[in-house]
Structure 1
Amino acid sequence: MSGRGARRRLVLLGGGHAQLAVLAWLARARPAGVEAVLVTPQPRQVYSGMLPGWLAGHYTEAQCVIALAPLAQAAGVMLRRAAAVGLDADARQVRLDDGGTLGYDWLSVNTGPAQDATRWGVAPLRPIEGWLVRTRQRLAEAPPRRVVVVGGGAAGFELALAWRHRLGPAAGVTLVSGRSGLLANYPEGVRRLGRQALAARAVTLIETRAVSGGPHGVVLADRTEVAADEVVLATGSVAPSWLDGCGLQRAPDGGLATGPTLQSVSHPEVFAAGDVASRLERPLPHSGVYAVRAGVALAAGLRAALAGAPAPLWHPPQHTLNLLSLGDRDAIASWGPLALQGPWIWRWKDRIDRGFMRRHGTPACAQR
């Protein structure tokens, strides 16, 4: 980049789960000759792994959020409160919603996913910050009595059960999973335990597609209407619109196409992790589990790139541990084909989640 002498600029676009590891590395290493900037629209990150627990009432809001400003300050990183609205990869410039542009020598993208909310008269689950604030206000003013959650993946499943626990047995809770069914990306043992958990807690499961909806309910593919006074849109993620026309190669699902080093396959000065990216040679599920694991690899790749060395390959594990909370203090564990359920699994998940938050400066998580 011109105009800054020998200094190189590293832009961290988004404060997602993987980017936390990059901030931790920068705090330790403070690489010479590097000007680092964290660009994020929010001053904090909501940890998605604890969001259902917050809704169920097991955690306070303070226990579920990570303040980004202290992490940036500790790393010597400038914090810019803005969101990307466009990118020119050939010019190495990010356009921001505050009207400015930001040039970079290296770019690390971890903005998280977007959701397609067309045909819906309700705000989607993501960005999570907005959903959390709206839901907090709703619970304080007038808790809903009929909730419909749209989306049969892990997020929809956990949130439906969290609503059930929060509202009690008098409320009606419905989960519309779509034509692919409940927890379609999980082994059959997990799906079976999931159906049993919904039935045992009186959550109605509708395994068909919702085609539209609004504040008063959803319309199914067969034109059946399901009434509600709270609709949660927890459908799958899509590529954010700011990637349109960016010049970076895109994956078939629209995400930023990366290789085994987490670098863009068309522009190696761009690294990306999390749901905004898709590995071409080995597509990975879009989940927080992989986003967290990718953080160490993302930091290692940037460290090598800034030193003029090849970025190391990242070898994700064949199987990952997935823990699904069931609203009450119960949970399902999934590891490869193995599926287990019990209160001890919830306690295990609780320890893992609190440990993650403590490592990133959330002392409230030491409280029980």
Structure 2
Amino acid sequence: MKSVDQPVLRDIVLIGGGHSHVGVIKKFGMAPWPGVRLTVICTDIDTPYSGMLPGYIAGHYRFDEVHIDLGRLCAFAGARFIQARVTGLDRMAKKVICEGRPPIAYDAVSINIGSTPRVDLQESTPGSAVPVKPIAQFNTRWQALLERIRSHAPGVSIAVVGGGAGGVELTLAMQYRLRNELTKAGKNPDSLSFHLLTAGDRLLPTHNPKVQQEFMQVLQQRGVNVHLNAEVIQLNEGVLSTTQGLQLKADEVMWVTQAKGAAWLANTGLDLDEGGFIEVKDTLQSVNDDHVFAAGDVASFKDRPLEKAGVFAVRMGKPLTENLKRHMEGTPLVHYRPQRTWLALISTGDQFAIASKGALSFSGGWVWQWKDWIDRRFMRKFTDLQPMDMDAAPAAPAPSVNLSAEESQQAISAIAMRCGGCGAKVGANVLSRALQAIHPIERDDVLVGLHAPDDAAIVRVPPGKAMVHTVDFFRAFIDDPYVFGKIAANHALGDVFAMGGQAQSATAVATVPPGLEAKVEETLFQMMSGAVEVLNEAGCALVGGHTGEGKELALGFAINGLVDESLKGVMIKGGLKAGQVIVLTKPIGTGTLFAALPQLGTRGVWIQRALESMMHSNRKGAAILMEAGATACTDLTGFGLLGHLVEMIKPSGVDVRLKLTSLPLLDGALETTRAGIVSSLQPANVRLRRAIQNQAAWVNHPLYPLLFDPQTAGGLLASVPADNALHCVAQLRQNGYPHAAIIGEVLAQGDALELVALTE
């Protein structure tokens, strides 16, 4: 995450990763707006470029070539990326409602979520029709169809509903690819049959007659059965029924018809057109809410309806960027003027394309090459990114956002030299407002806690129990405070679970960057919401804490846990026994991945999978290890795998043989270490290499650096009896730890001073 010296004064939230929004993000990254924080919310981290989708389906492009990595683009721009599904807007409170997480506040929000084919059927079997949008869902079905064609006998019938450019392109691309797959498999490609159905009396109705005629000829030459005036009204058990009485059996039905808006827009109170799209002014603002912008397919212009074409979404990026900036400044907005005609380059699947612009048309292989050049040039804008040189970057200019008088005073205070000591505490009103919507669980053994705040909490130790005390604290390494809160709580709880304890109570210590009271309150609310969710799930009551100002967001917890006072069932580091095996419950690699993030050396999907691993609790894992008879356990954190293993070996008086190639890795960790990207803590951890007996033989192995990679909210490292190990790993994998693995064995102590031997 980029370090920001200026306080956040305004929040712009972008919903969706469409063509307009990627333009906004790129321009924001090239010239950030002082005082403005940009947040992107999207269900998918890889956003598709629709212009190259037919080429991807036809097999001319790889997945990465036709998708923009939103996570990486946001890292370049210094924007927050939040992977979530939006379900609504609370326009009165100015919050975006998301599934499974707290609402996200905005000062201005922009919506660029595309559209969905309208499936208007009197009757249909659920899941029988596959809409081409959202593309991520369509791609899953497409990959399944590809595998079906490769693995099973041919004879598949495919129907595409929709006679516009999208339907025609998709039909030809699928046919080209699937025939090639059958040919490569030694099967008869003619066993495939394709049907294209349209309710109209002609194909591509928005294009000129010459283009329509040329595509009809191509379809006929390729053996595609074209059904005109064939409005589909029913789809049951793979049988399509039309108004003209046609009954057509199809194994796969793809839907590429007239589009509609997302269902959640209907509950926002925004003015929508008949298709469910947001009606906007020529400033791209909603006609009934100036704080809401819309672009791309989801935007509807009353005076001039636009075709749902990517070219308009791309062109809207520039005025949308300018108007969002001007809206923050309180200056007049610019007007978007869509072009009257536009160039459409429509491919035929086989690296041949037909150009259409108004009454003009031309075609050929050279047109496809031209289209390929245009598309690749567009994608390079969002893939050829270079991290900003923060040392060489000029000081940011003063914020120019439009503030009220009270907000101006708060901004001046936030920018000015801040007090230390108790003067650095977050204000009581801000703190109480942030915490009032957070509901920690209540426990009978918490006598005084947040339900009746006092100077300190009072917690009773149940009879027969002993206390486990631990503390963890670190600064944020991601921009999403909700996710950071969940990870910080998981990380702090890890020590209690590793010892076989039950978490009882937690006291929080947080630092929050100074700023407008509303922004400080929102950050605290998001962060503590995530943390309390994790604490509550663990049965751990948040009983108090301290919140102060600091340059960077940070969070930590002092955790109290309970174990049997006889220490029965307690797992300690020094409990390794010869003959046992070493089990690791989670993959490693968080250190190198998050070191690579600000250098743009990672992929967004790698970061998201790492975050998912870090948010996964060790509570169930510890219980499974205890059931398997584990006698030693620790959680992997900053000292890395080797550092924590040495901490276990020394007091146990044993040696360990570690299977380097058995280490479970997070996606991308091997790639980033091969690129030489390591955590700032790595050099200190590498000093423990002297504990490796055969270090010289392995120092050049690509997995070797990951022995020293510091982990955040890592997995549990434990020793279990060899006879129970396979069952233990199977249980772990069945209970949410899919990467759990046996990574070594415990040996009797030998004569060598080194404690660890590496093997394959």
Q: Normalization by structure 2: what TM-score?
A: 0.46
1:277 aligned to 299, 305, 309, which one?
299
Aligned residues: 359
Residues 65, 362 of structure 1: 8 Å contact kept: no
Amino acid at match of 1:111: I
Tell me how far 1:135 sits from its aligned partner.
0.8
Alignment partner, residue 325 of structure 1: 347
Residues 17, 40 of structure 2: 8 Å contact kept: yes
Tell me how far 1:163 sits from its aligned partner.
1.7
CA distance in 2 between partners of 1:249 and 1:27 (Å):
32
CA distance in 2 between partners of 1:223 and 1:92 (Å):
50
Alignment partner, residue 163 of structure 1: 174
1:56-101 deviations in whole A, cap 9, x for unaligned?
1111112111110011111111111112111232332221122421
Alignment partner, residue 330 of structure 2: 308
Alignment partner, residue 222 of structure 1: 244
> Within the alignment, does 1:132 sit opposite 2:118 as a pair?
no
1:306-357 deviations in whole A, cap 9, x for unaligned?
2221110111111110011001111110111101121111111111111111
Query: What secondary structure sits across from 1:148 in the alignment?
Result: strand
Amino acid at match of 2:138: W
My pick for the range that moved more, 175-184 or 328-337, is 175-184
Percent of pairs identical after alignment? 35
Runs of 5+ unmatched residues, structure 2: 1-6, 180-188, 386-760
Residues 119, 257 of structure 2: 8 Å contact kept: no
Alignment partner, residue 123 of structure 1: 130
CA distance in 2 between partners of 1:167 and 1:71 (Å):
33
CA distance in 1 between partners of 2:347 and 2:161 (Å):
18
CA distance in 2 between partners of 1:319 and 1:42 (Å):
32
Aligned counterparts, 1:192-231, within 5 A: 192-207=213-228, 208-213=230-235, 216-231=238-253
Alignment partner, residue 54 of structure 2: 52
Relative to 1, partners in 2 of residues 1:323 and 1:247: Cα closer, same or farther, differing over 3 Å?
same
Query: What secondary structure sits across from 1:25 in the alignment?
Result: helix
Alignment partner, residue 38 of structure 2: 36
1:236-294 deviations in whole A, cap 9, x for unaligned?
21011111121212234321011111111111111110111101222211111111111
Tell me how far 1:217 sits from its aligned partner.
4.0
> Within the alignment, does 1:358 sit opposite 2:380 as a pair?
yes
Query: What secondary structure sits across from 1:69 in the alignment?
Result: helix
Q: CA RMSD in A?
A: 1.8
CA distance in 1 between partners of 2:53 and 2:275 (Å):
26
Alignment partner, residue 366 of structure 1: none
1:345 aligned to 357, 364, 367, which one?
367
Alignment partner, residue 389 of structure 2: none
Residues 68, 382 of structure 2: 8 Å contact kept: yes
Aligned counterparts, 1:13-32, within 5 A: 13-32=15-34
> Within the alignment, does 1:334 sit opposite 2:356 as a pair?
yes
Amino acid at match of 2:265: L
CA distance in 1 between partners of 2:201 and 2:305 (Å):
19
CA distance in 2 between partners of 1:298 and 1:213 (Å):
40
Q: Normalization by structure 1: what TM-score?
A: 0.93
Amino acid at match of 1:149: V
Residues 190, 334 of structure 1: 8 Å contact kept: yes
Tell me how far 1:214 sits from its aligned partner.
5.2
Tell me how far 1:136 sits from its aligned partner.
1.4
> Within the alignment, does 1:177 sit opposite 2:198 as a pair?
yes
Query: What secondary structure sits across from 2:335 in the alignment?
Result: coil
Residues 150, 156 of structure 1: 8 Å contact kept: yes
1:160-189 deviations in whole A, cap 9, x for unaligned?
111221122512111102235311121222
Residues 117, 123 of structure 1: 8 Å contact kept: no
> Within the alignment, does 1:287 sit opposite 2:309 as a pair?
yes
My pick for the range that moved more, 155-164 or 189-198, is 189-198
Residues 285, 291 of structure 2: 8 Å contact kept: yes
Query: What secondary structure sits across from 1:244 in the alignment?
Result: helix
Tell me how far 1:53 sits from its aligned partner.
0.9
Tell me how far 1:118 sits from its aligned partner.
5.6
CA distance in 1 between partners of 2:239 and 2:173 (Å):
19
Alignment partner, residue 142 of structure 1: 149
Aligned counterparts, 1:87-106, within 5 A: 87-106=89-108
Query: What secondary structure sits across from 2:116 in the alignment?
Result: coil
Residues 122, 214 of structure 1: 8 Å contact kept: no
CA distance in 1 between partners of 2:373 and 2:260 (Å):
31
Alignment partner, residue 188 of structure 1: 209
Relative to 1, partners in 2 of residues 1:285 and 1:179: Cα closer, same or farther, differing over 3 Å?
same
| Greater fraction of residues in helix | 2
Alignment partner, residue 81 of structure 1: 83
Residues 152, 183 of structure 1: 8 Å contact kept: yes
Residues 259, 281 of structure 1: 8 Å contact kept: no
CA distance in 2 between partners of 1:206 and 1:40 (Å):
37
Residues 202, 212 of structure 2: 8 Å contact kept: no
CA distance in 2 between partners of 1:284 and 1:11 (Å):
25
Amino acid at match of 2:378: F
Residues 295, 313 of structure 2: 8 Å contact kept: yes
Query: What secondary structure sits across from 2:289 in the alignment?
Result: coil
Residues 161, 326 of structure 1: 8 Å contact kept: yes
Alignment partner, residue 12 of structure 1: 14
Residues 88, 94 of structure 1: 8 Å contact kept: yes
Runs of 5+ unmatched residues, structure 1: 364-368
Tell me how far 1:362 sits from its aligned partner.
6.6
Residues 113, 275 of structure 1: 8 Å contact kept: yes
Query: What secondary structure sits across from 2:78 in the alignment?
Result: coil
CA distance in 2 between partners of 1:79 and 1:235 (Å):
31
CA distance in 1 between partners of 2:77 and 2:19 (Å):
16
Query: What secondary structure sits across from 1:329 in the alignment?
Result: coil
Query: What secondary structure sits across from 1:319 in the alignment?
Result: coil
Tell me how far 1:147 sits from its aligned partner.
1.1
